[in-house]
Structure 1
Amino acid sequence: MTDADSSSTPEDPTPESTRRETPGGGVRPTADEIEPAAPAEFGLVQAWWGDGKGKTTASLGMAFRAAGHGYRVHVLQFLKGGADSVEGVRGEYNAIASVPGISYENTGHYGWHGLLDGSDDDEHHAKARGALARAEEIVAGAADADLTEPLAPDADPEDGVHLLVLDEILYAVEQGLLDESDVLDLLDATPENLELVLTGSHTEPTYLLDDADLVTEVRKLKHPFDAGIRARKGTEY
């Protein structure tokens, strides 16, 4: 072992010495003020699918993380117009409103397509098509913008975003409200530096495997819904 090796690895490590060897030197970082910035390595396509809880939660976590670095983020939700078990204003909407650089839209229709909850399936279809058109508009705006530069945090999303979350778009395909080709065409139009996050679907979106850079299955082992526990405020909405 060289002198350099021995100096970097204590012979008798203690909690204090171990903390000193971490990247942060054992010091808890303090939060910086959020200033507009541009990501250096964005431009991948992510897909989150599966029958487990956490797909939207994971995508929102990435959205807040990116916004915390000053990147411009937009969340566009398909099929989440609400139900009798979910309040119209959800926790993420309140949180998004308090963070600069992140915005959201909900294009869903009341109820859930195919669940016989009294909602109009034709209206679900129309809302899904409208959401797709809105996604295409935002992607086109990103293609026209310079995503290597900071973007105004309060600018309209069609003026450019660094990260776009299309929540439940994959479930809209699974339900037959959109076609696989609709999503693939959207990916073809996505500019080089736009990070695109797609969520939804209990069925594996095999049509994305050649185009997506990250595909994650969120698998259910157990879910409170199976025990009759409905959506809870602060965890599901």
Structure 2
Amino acid sequence: MTDTNESATSAGASAPDERTPAETRRNTPGGGVRPAADAIEPSAPDEFGLVQAWWGDGKGKTTASLGMAFRAVGHGYRVHLLQFMKGGADSVEDVRGEYNTIAAVPGISYENTGHYGWHGMRDGSDEDDHRAKARGAMARAEELLAAAADADLTEPLPLDADPEAGVHLLVLDEVLYAVDQGLIDENDVLGLVESKPGNLELVLTGSHTEPTYLLNAADLVTEVRKVKHPFDAGIRARKGTEY
């Protein structure tokens, strides 16, 4: 039996440890070709309409939702991010890196309705204000879902239009955590899911507790589990990674 490497070498190709960088790239699945980036033009998704829930005690729930948001925007879909309870602690600046990026990229917008500070963490913030802001965020989410229901989501939407004109993907960040903290009710979230128009992709994040009430209602449920976190070693939120 002839060794594959010997056969390739005898045919004139370099052995793996002798390949040039260009030869190595040519042997990758993409053939070493770097895909060109297209200009972002308004478009409409063919297969949106699912409900996603991202929960767990690990870092990465908001990060994952933002990754999907920017991926969708890259295809020309209209995206909006509505954040519940994203005020943060005193180690986090009020302007996060994603806000600056969103402002620079067409097709995506955001709102932060959260109180600066975290409910239940004894940071001196007004607990009643936390509850009022969470209820306000819920009312805003209902408005956005109603607007999406009125829009034709099978068609491209203007990238610079207000979210009231409809969006293809809506991220409700930390909404599940607001349920955990008793600021809103799980039935409120189920009501949002039930009122979702068929072509809207709805992404819900937050919660360290499994949102069992969503297991039948959601199409994708992902647990982001902590194995190790720098916070446990006393390392606070870092600019550029956590905010």
Same fold, judged at TM 0.5 (above): yes
1:204 matched to 2:210? The reply is yes
Larger radius of gyration: 2
Look up the equivalent residue of 1:104 and give its one-letter code.
Y
The match for 2:40 is: 34
The match for 2:56 is: 50
Q: Deviations over 1:141-186 (max 9, x none)?
A: 0000000000011111121000000000000001000101000000
SS at match of 1:126: helix
1:77 CA displacement: 0.3
The match for 2:27 is: 18
Structure-2 change in CA distance of 1:227 and 1:43 (3 Å)? same
Give 1:142-157 correspondences, 5 Å limit: 142-157=148-163
SS at match of 2:54: strand
The match for 2:134 is: 128
Look up the equivalent residue of 1:84 and give its one-letter code.
D
Q: Give the TM-score of the pair, scaled to structure 2.
A: 0.89
Instruction: State, as a whole percentage, how many aligned pairs show the same letter.
Output: 80
SS at match of 2:191: helix
1:71 matched to 2:77? The reply is yes
RMSD: 1.4
Distance 2:242 2:119 in 1: 19
In structure 2, runs of 5+ residues without a counterpart are 1-6, 17-23
The match for 1:7 is: none
Q: Deviations over 1:91-142 (max 9, x none)?
A: 0000001100000000000210001110111100000000000000000000
Q: Give the TM-score of the pair, scaled to structure 1.
A: 0.91
The match for 1:171 is: 177
1:27 CA displacement: 1.1
In structure 1, runs of 5+ residues without a counterpart are 1-10
Match of 2:191 among 185, 193, 196: 185
Structure 1 segments (4+ residues) deviating >2 Å: 11-19
Match of 2:96 among 90, 106, 114: 90
1:159 matched to 2:165? The reply is yes
Check conservation: 2:25, 2:31, Cα contact below 8 A: no
The match for 1:4 is: none
Distance 2:166 2:96 in 1: 25
1:17 CA displacement: 5.6
Q: Deviations over 1:28-55 (max 9, x none)?
A: 1011100000001000000000000000
Distance 1:231 1:169 in 2: 21
1:16 CA displacement: 5.7
Look up the equivalent residue of 1:209 and give its one-letter code.
L
